[in-house]
A and B are shown apart, each in its own frame.
Chain A
């Protein structure tokens, strides 16, 4: 992909900022308090934008990078928690336990990450699209902008990738 190189260069900057913000939130974590990854992405955007606005083409460009970092951070945390809980067993941690998201249905993040790696082998574009939407919180339109494809194409890819992932994650995707 054409934007591969600048993204590679900016990824560590976004990753570090998100990690720092996540750690700061988690230190203050109290029972019942939740941390929302998309809120973190937004906060990181505001901070990094203020710092060096020239580095970012637009919000979609930033979120595309942030989505990948957020995925890494969430998966690292899910694996760490799973290892802690089960003493080295294969970690199986839901999003709720891993960080988080208030009322969203619980999803096994480690299983999702693995399924996304399999999807990447057969369709890298769809895997990236899911990463942008789910881990970056991008809308259909923002995803279209970030990937330089039409919103209609995003919707088509999303529909089929979502069905495939629901099946991979345990049958019918119900929780």
Chain B
């Protein structure tokens, strides 16, 4: 992955996080139409964000 790609992923991730339900889906679907890789990457990170242990890294070493 390049820093530029990671920056795009970050932007879409935060934009999607600010939306709920259908609006979030719609944003990701629209992105997927032109850049499926980007949408897939962000969907995957959102899934981890929502399902991972809330304590992960939150308690310092």
Contact = CB atoms under 8 A, between A and B. Distances in A.
Contacts of B14: 156, 159-160
Contacts of A27: none
Given A160-B10, A160-B14, A160-B45, 13 more contacts: A74-B61, A101-B59, A101-B60, A101-B61, A107-B57, A133-B57, A135-B61, A159-B17, A163-B45, A163-B46, A167-B48, A173-B52, A174-B52
Interface of A: 37-38, 70-71, 74, 95, 99, 101, 104-105, 107, 109, 121-123, 130, 133-137, 156, 159-160, 162-167, 171-175
Interface in B12-60: 13-14, 17, 44-49, 51-53, 55-57, 59-60
B53 A174 contact: yes
B17 A166 contact: no
A95 to B, nearest CB: 6
A171 B9 CA distance: 18
A162 B59 CA distance: 12
B57 to A, nearest CB: 5
B2 A122 contact: yes
* Chain B contact residues, majority secondary structure: helix
A122 B1 contact: yes
A173 B53 contact: yes
Contacts of A159: 14, 17, 49
12 contacts: A105-B55, A107-B57, A123-B10, A137-B61, A156-B14, A160-B10, A163-B45, A164-B45, A166-B57, A167-B44, A172-B52, A175-B53
B3 A165 contact: no
Contact of A136 (B9, B46, B60): B60
A101 B59 CA distance: 9
A174 B51 contact: yes
B52 A166 contact: yes
B61 A37 contact: yes
Contacts of A156: 10, 14
Nearest to B51: A172
